[in-house]
Structure 1
Amino acid sequence: MTPVELMKLLADETRLTSVIAMKSGPRCVCDLMEILQLSQPKVSRHLAILREAGLVETERRGQWVYYSLVPQLPAWVDQTINALAPVVIESVMESTPGITITPGESSACC
């Protein structure tokens, strides 16, 4: 992955917020739907783009599919995501009161 490819992926608010949410651990689609306040098809489409780019991987747990960041990302990718995280988290909290991106917290669906 090149820096330009990463920036193109993260230039979309839905994908950027999804990546930051997955930074704290695996997330199912319903978790991301709640955080993003978007429909399942829209969230799934963005997750597919991230998966195709090699930034996200999936794990099936029973009937649920969990998405997480690929653990062996290059250090510069990880540093970029870490640098963006505080600003994205603050933006989510401001734009969607009551919704937070908290490690280990998942929705009731799974």
Structure 2
Amino acid sequence: MAKILLGIALAALLATATLAFLAKGNAEKLQSVLATTKQDLATTRTTLARTKDELKTRTEELAAANVKIEEKDKEIANLKGQMDALNTKIAEAATAMEAKTVAMDTLQKEF
């Protein structure tokens, strides 16, 4: 009976050793995956920080460009107003010139 119990104990010991060996292999694989994942995470965080800085810079550049666009729009509106005023003066001058031409023609006919 002792030999049977010793055989069972030996079989249990071999099974435990086999399971421990397999578990060790799985643990090493998991540690390798964990190390790779940590490295990927660090790389991703660095890239994210760089991207955030770049986004901030581009946002500031966009805001500055929008301010310049607004200034140019105001300048264009001002120049359009000046152009309209000059066109009005040109129209008035043309009307006055036409009136003087008619008056001159009338005077020439009288002489």
Tell me which structure has the larger Cα radius of gyration.
2
Q: More helix per residue: 1 or 2? A: 2
Question: TM (normalized to structure 2)?
Answer: 0.20
Question: Which structure carries more relative contact order (alpha carbon 8 Å, separation 6+)?
Answer: 1
